[in-house]
Amino acid sequence: MLRLDGVWKTYRLGAFGTRELTAVRDVSMEVRAGEVVSLIGESGSGKTTIGRMVLGLASPTRGSITFDDVPVGGLRGRALRGYHRQVQGVFQDPFSTFNPVFKADRVFALVRDGFFPSVPAIKWRRRVEAALEGVRLEPADVLDKYPHQLSGGQLQRMLIARALLLDIRLLVADEIISMLDASTRIDVLNLLGDLKTKGLGVLFVTHDLALGTYISDRTVILRAGEVVESGPTDEVFARPQHEYTRNLLAAVPHLHTRWNEPVK
């Protein structure tokens, strides 16, 4: 479904663009339908840059990104809108996506205006309610409310519901749970697990190895813009080949160890 082949991204820096920073180097990877792929790396390793290129919000400097064999870079106007009916992103901070001046459900109205202007209001309302129920939200709890009246978990789920209204096939989930509390995190992860069984592909971007293992089928480890290791999640975690992955794994808290026992 989604393929990255030898993708590079170099940013030009400075007032005259004379300096360069290569954020992504020769990255190749794939996300298939019904599969969650974790893209794991430390801050600054290029994860968000990859997510933005996959969403068509930035173009690779070199290499290709294709969705169903159609190149994503260079999509504009109607073609880009058509792509966004199938591929959507949800990002780290749900509060920043909502305009505090408007009610939170305005995000759904914008989807209708942009993509389904001919759907009658009553029918649209039913679709929104079904999408909310699909992310385990009670419509009456969240509709007609301002963002500050809702929790981070509710807002994050509303954004996933917004993506689902478009009947998407691939979700780019960029650090979507880092700002949620522990139990809400598990709920959102389980929700992604459900969606995957319905055929949704998920590119799950995180700096947190433990979260990456929870739902992903395959894992790609990124360091300074380069893939250092990738493969089925179980294998990467059981037999990490690269020292960088081993170090990342060693830094994960050992859940089976009591807090006062030294970690071996």
Ligand X SMILES: Nc1ncnc2c1ncn2[C@@H]1O[C@H](COP(=O)(O)OP(=O)(O)OP(=O)(O)O)[C@@H](O)[C@H]1O
- Contact residues: ligand X, CB under 6 A: 11, 13, 21, 23, 41, 43-49, 207
Identify whether the C-beta of residue 107 lies closer than 8 Å to the C-beta of residue 99.
Answer: no
Q: 20 by DSSP, 3-state: which?
A: strand
- DSSP string of 78-90, one letter each residue: HHHHHHHTTEEEE
Output 48 or 216, the one with its CB closest to ligand X.
48
Q: Give the shortest CB-13-to-ligand X separation in angstroms.
A: 6
Q: Give the shortest CB-229-to-ligand X separation in angstroms.
A: 16
**Distances from the Cα of 250 to the Cα of 81, 106, 125, 254, angstroms:** 43, 44, 48, 9
Output 44 or 82, the one with its CB closest to ligand X.
44
> In the numeric block, which tokens belong to residue 136?
């385990």
CA distance 198 to 192: 10
Output 48 or 88, the one with its CB closest to ligand X.
48
Output 12 or 123, the one with its CB closest to ligand X.
12
CA distance 190 to 149: 24
Q: Give the shortest CB-97-to-ligand X separation in angstroms.
A: 16
Output 154 or 219, the one with its CB closest to ligand X.
219
Q: Give the shortest CB-8-to-ligand X separation in angstroms.
A: 12
CA distance 80 to 75: 5
Q: Give the shortest CB-46-to-ligand X separation in angstroms.
A: 4
